[in-house]
Amino acid sequence: MPEGSTTGSVSRAGRPNDVRPPLDPVDRAILAELERDARIPNNALAERVGIAPSTCLTRVRALRERGVIRGFHADVDPAATGRPLQAMVSVRLQAAARRRMREFEEFVTSLPEVRDCFFLAGVDDYLLHVATADSAALRDFVVALNGREQIANTQTSLIFDHVRPRRGY
């Protein structure tokens, strides 16, 4: 890979080891399409964004390798798998327990009820997005959380609805 003279004319003389070229409009179109439907065939994706299939494949692979695309996931309806009740549980740790936050994170992410764990800067330390079978299961979950001496208090809000906007890039 020749680094010497050829790149000099265009390169923004900043980081010689820059492996993160900016996303061009085609990359952004690819991201928008794959976020909408991660299983669109490469042919169809290429046509939608206006490039050849092989080029499209190369770009998608590059986006994965650069970490722009972190993965592809199925969106499974929690209600269909026996967890129709969702809630947000904010958690405040005991001041002394903040030295063992890793331990807490490993604990909560091992619980089957927890869908997401956000580590926050604010009055609360964590926000947990949980899904349970019913209100009794949710109560059991919260009671179990509060039973750990690391935890100062929790506050639970039921989720009536969850909208995930279509994102454009």
Partner DNA sequence: GGTGAAACGATTAGCAA
Partner DNA sequence: TTGCTAATCGTTTCACC
The residues that touch DNA, with contacts defined as CB under 7 A, are 1-2, 21, 26, 41-44, 51-55, 57-59, 61
Between residue 51 and residue 70, which ones bind its own copies under the rule CB under 8 A?
66-70
Does 114 participate in binding its own copies (rule CB under 8 A)? yes
Given 7, 135, 146, 157, the residue binding its own copies (CB under 8 A):
157
CB of 29 to its own copies, least distance (A): 12
3-state secondary structure of 86: strand
Residue 74, both tokens? 């199925």
Residues 62, 5, 25, 18: is their CA dihedral positive or negative? positive
Does 164 participate in binding its own copies (rule CB under 8 A)? yes
Show Cβ contacts of residue 107 under 8 Å, excluding neighbours closer than 6 positions.
148
Out of DNA, its own copies, none, what residue 97 binds, judged by CB under 5 to 8 A for its kind, is none
Does 72 participate in binding its own copies (rule CB under 8 A)? yes
Residue 102, both tokens? 């890793």
Residue 66, both tokens? 């650069």
Out of DNA, its own copies, none, what residue 102 binds, judged by CB under 5 to 8 A for its kind, is none
8 Å CB contact between 125 and 92: yes
